[in-house]
Amino acid sequence: MEQSKTVLIVDDDANILQVAGFAVKKAGYEVVFARDGREALSVFAEVKPDLIVLDVMMPEMDGTEVCKIIRSQSQVPIIFLSSRDDEIDRIIGLELGGDDYVTKPFSPRELAARIKALFRRMEGLAGGGRHSSSPQPAGRKTMECGCIKLDSDRFQVFWKDQEIVLTATEFAILRTLLAYPGKVYNREELMAKAYDIHTVVSDRTIDSHIRHIREKFKAKGGDPIETIHGLGYKIVSSPAVQP
Which domains, from first to last, does the chain contain?
6-124 (3.40.50.2300), 127-241 (1.10.10.10)
pTM over 0.85: no
> Whole-angstrom Cα distance, residue 88 to residue 135?
38
Q: How much is the mean pLDDT over the chain?
A: 81
Cβ burial 69-86 (10 Å sphere, 16+ → b, else e): ebbeebbbbbbbbbeeee
**pLDDT single digits (tens) 28-86:** 999 999 999 999 999 999 999 999 999 988 888 989 899 989 988 888 999 998 876 55
Task: Give which of 45, 52, 54 is closest to 12, Cα–Cα.
Answer: 54
**DSSP category for residue 36:** S
Q: pLDDT by residue (tens digit) across 109-145?
A: 989 988 988 888 777 655 544 333 334 433 457 888 8
Query: Is residue 227 predicted with pLDDT exceeding 70?
Result: yes
Q: What is the pLDDT of residue 37?
A: 94
How many other C-beta atoms are found inside a 10 Å radius of the C-beta of residue 90? 23
